[in-house]
Amino acid sequence: MSSSEPQSRRAALAALASVVAASLGGCGFALRMPPRMSFSSVALTGFAAHSPMLHELQRQFEQQVEVLATPDRADVVLQALVDTRERSIVASTSAAQVREVQLRLRFAFRAQTPSGRELMPRAELLVARDLSYQESAALAKEHEEAELFSDMQNELVLQVLRRLAAVRV
């Protein structure tokens, strides 16, 4: 094998990589972006002090609009009516050992102006996931449950953002 063969092979691979990269640019591929809001400020009310949903909504909103602590100067007031995490046993053995649980994240909200004009009536969102359970892997299942709740919360936040993107002040 001569020394020119590896160089020509590298050149061919580089040419192939550039063709593939160029074809991906024209296929329309783009990362999913959060929906664009038509208002410039929002106030979040009705949440518990350390609500994970509140923190995630604040984080997402701060990328586009100003999040205000008081609703009197905000364009939109997002009021949380229900923000709960639920865990219920779905299946158990005859010896009362848990085999499957269902995780639910429920969020109800409405949007209005500071003066009280309704922009969006009460909406309730519910996301549920089933989780198999084994006592021998309790710690791993606890981490899996936390991950599922986090994914469910992200899904709910995106649904809320999509609904609020349609609001016109």
Q: What is the pLDDT of residue 136?
A: 81
**What residue spans define the domains of the chain?**
1-30, 37-165
3-state secondary structure of 90: strand
Per residue in 4-42, is it b (16+ CB within 10 Å) or e — as a string? eeeeeeeeeeeeeeeeeeeeeeeeeeeeeeeeebebebb
Residues of the chain with pLDDT under 70: 1-4, 19-33
CATH code of the domain occupying 37-165: 3.30.160.150
CB of 61 within 8 A of CB of 104?
no
| pTM, entire model | 0.75
Alpha-carbon gap, residue 100 to 88, rounded angstroms: 9
Q: What is the pLDDT of residue 68?
A: 96
Q: What is the mean pLDDT of the chain?
A: 88
Parallel, antiparallel or unpaired: strands 98-112 and 76-92: antiparallel
Q: Give the model confidence (pLDDT) of 25-64 as tens digits.
A: 666 666 666 788 999 999 999 999 899 999 999 999 999 9
Q: What is the pLDDT of residue 77?
A: 97
